[in-house]
Amino acid sequence: MGLVAAVYGSFCYAVFLGSFLYSIGFIGDLVVPKTIDSARGVDLPEALAVNLVLLGLFAVQHSVMARQSFKAVWTRIVPRAVERSTYVLISSLLLGLICWKWQAIPTVAWNVTSPVFKALLLALFAFGWLTVLFSTFMINHFDLFGLRQVYLRLHGLDYTPLRFTERALYKFVRHPIYLGFVIAFWATPHMSVGHLVFAIATTGYIFVGIFLEERDLMKYHAAEYGAYRAKVPMLLPTGVKRERSGAIDDVGDSPVRSQ
């Protein structure tokens, strides 16, 4: 079973990696064959309805599968060692579905023509995605995407929550992964209405996701996470914070996540 779990976990990670890389090109309207601004195929009302359903499916899955009440039932069906990998796989497939079925709304919201400002916005777009990637390694990239769990299962070892050292971006904001996404979604020299709908909807979901995640964290780690939340801002950095250590569990991108 350990080998099967390891192969499955590796497959799930490969699907995630492919969907993640494709989504960069999709949102940035770069390189990939189908992007957020590809040729319009349907009328505006239908495009809005399709896009909001796609985003809604992703948001519901992301939120529901991260809740402890769902995990308590889900892990009776799915082995705990591959629970995170399965979450990653379903999230990645839904992200792929968004990229595949997204209906472009090419009407221009804004268009930056200045070469300097265009370059700055593209640099900010890249910075957002790098922030996302860098932040995953600050809370253990391999645990976050299920690889550590299946590795431990392969070697017959019990899963143990990681110890987290508050470092790098987590000294400045509690949710640098979400911050990176917000930057990447909004930093574009050419903002179509379709892209604007995507940016507004996903940013709104990010704040909902933060609320749900922090509610769970306060429920399960009130003293520890409460102290962290009191001194570190949510998304906008305000200054350098002192280092602190704490347990890391399995919910979102925070340094303390509920198991």
Query: If pLDDT is split at 50, 70 and 90, which confidence band does 241 have?
Result: very low
230's CB contacts (< 8 A; 6+ apart) are none
Name the range with the highest mean pLDDT among 120-129, 232-241, 248-257.
120-129
**What value, to the nearest 5°, has the Cα angle with vertex 195 and ends 181 and 206?**
35
Query: If pLDDT is split at 50, 70 and 90, which confidence band does 254 have?
Result: low
Query: If pLDDT is split at 50, 70 and 90, which confidence band does 8 have?
Result: very high
Of residues 224 and 200, the one with the higher pLDDT is: 200
Question: So what's the pLDDT on residue 252?
Answer: 56
Map out the domains of the chain as residue ranges.
2-248
pLDDT in tens, 61-77: 988 888 888 888 988 99
**Spatial distance between the Cα atoms of 248 and 106, rounded to a whole number of angstroms:** 43
Q: What is the mean pLDDT of residues 211-221?
A: 82
Inter-residue contact 210 to 234 (CB < 8 Å): yes
**What value, to the nearest 5°, has the Cα angle with vertex 131 and ends 248 and 140?**
25
Question: So what's the pLDDT on residue 221?
Answer: 75
Average pLDDT, the chain: 88
Query: Is it the case that residue 200 has pLDDT exceeding 90?
Result: yes
pLDDT in tens, 134-175: 999 988 899 999 999 999 998 888 888 776 667 778 889 999
Q: Which of 252, 169, 163 is nearest to 212 (CA)?
A: 252
- Alpha helices by DSSP H, the chain: 2-28, 44-66, 68-74, 83-101, 115-138, 141-144, 147-154, 176-186, 193-220, 222-231
Q: What is the DSSP letter of 164?
A: E
Integer-rounded Cα radius of gyration of the chain: 19
Question: So what's the pLDDT on residue 164?
Answer: 60
Query: Is it the case that residue 247 has pLDDT exceeding 60?
Result: no
